[in-house]
Amino acid sequence: MSDRRFGPIRLIPGANRGRYPHSNSVYVEGAGILIDAGADEAAYRALLAGPGVKEVWLSHWHEDHLTCLDLFAGLPLAQMACEAEPLADLEAFLDWYGIGKEAHRDYWRRVLAADFHFRPRKATRHFTPGEVIDLGTCTAEVIHAPGHTPGFTVFYFREPQVLYLGDYDLTAFGPWYGDRDSSIEDTIASLQRLRKIPAKVWLTSHEDGCFEDDATEAFDRYLAVIGAREAKLLEFLSAPRTMEDIVAACLVYRKPREPKAFFEWGEGAIMGKHIERLMRNGAVALEDGRYRRAN
């Protein structure tokens, strides 16, 4: 996948079409702003050698957006203040994901260090939700869009009408809201608000990463995944099930996958959010350690 340009806004594709553990980045030409650092190391080195990078912005704290951050050591780094904690400490990083099992934490400690080059970092400045930043070649509106993470940040470049959605990636997999502080309700509210922004181009962190002209159907399909997951879970809970039963059913990932420390945790994280939501709504009850559909 090649770079795509929309005025001064350039999509830098990650390896393997930006699929996790890779991610796409956005670069603002003229201003030298790089948003997220999980794409291609060679492309980043070319930027540093060529037009230059003056500042790095983070859409959020997840590991696949930090992989190459060391290449930009010494440059200003900006993020939302509420997400400073996981960026600054590995154990806090795991806590923010909600990873409780020690075996899973051991796996993630190794992977974060070896594959994502995690080390404690501190931003040099923090975004203010709603601020508008004059970048010379365009203006960028900072949009706080919680749900995926509490401080998740979307950037709207007004003049070219380009919206960088980051991990609201409009892929067939659907939204991720499995972190300790993620929220299904906030995800839905943020997506409904973002779809109303008068963009002409929508850029995302994963897979093709580019939608042009009309993203209505893409937003509809993406949001529909939430309801589809919930419907499958409710059908499965026609009989009482433990959380272990729910994870083993692979309602999110469709089949068992390796490594278990990644996929079993992820399955439980997303299904756990749906269980919490359904219990709040009175649709699911817990009896003797088993969840069941309430009606």
Q: What does pTM read for this prediction?
A: 0.96
Q: Shortest CA distance to 20 belongs to which of 43, 36, 33? A: 36
Residues 206 and 250 in one domain: no
Phi and psi at residue 216, to the nearest 5°: -55, -50
Q: Shortest CA distance to 206 belongs to which of 9, 38, 2? A: 38
In a domain, 259, yes or no: yes
Residues 101 and 130 in one domain: yes
In a domain, 202, yes or no: yes
In a domain, 226, yes or no: no
How many domains would you assign to the chain?
Answer: 2
Average pLDDT, 10 consecutive residues per value, the chain (295 residues): 88 95 97 97 96 98 98 98 98 97 96 97 97 98 98 98 98 98 98 98 96 96 98 98 98 95 95 98 97 92
Residues 104 and 250 in one domain: no
In a domain, 189, yes or no: yes
pLDDT on residue 295: 76
Q: What is the CATH number of the domain that holds 78?
A: 3.60.15.10
Q: Shortest CA distance to 24 belongs to which of 34, 38, 10, 45? A: 38
In a domain, 241, yes or no: yes
pLDDT on residue 1: 59
Q: What is the CATH number of the domain that holds 273?
A: 1.10.10
Residues 188 and 246 in one domain: no
Please give the Cα distance from 182 to 290 (Å, whole number).
Answer: 24
- Chain centre to alpha carbon of residue 109: 20
pLDDT on residue 258: 94
Residues 287 and 177 in one domain: no
In a domain, 174, yes or no: yes
Please give the Cα distance from 272 to 234 (Å, whole number).
Answer: 13
Domain residues for the domain of 189 are: 4-220
Q: Which residues pair with residue 204 across a beta bridge?
A: 166
pLDDT on residue 3: 82
Q: Domain end: 220, 245, 275, which one?
A: 220
In a domain, 227, yes or no: no
Residues 110 and 255 in one domain: no
DSSP state letter for 5: E
In a domain, 228, yes or no: no
Residues 50 and 84 in one domain: yes
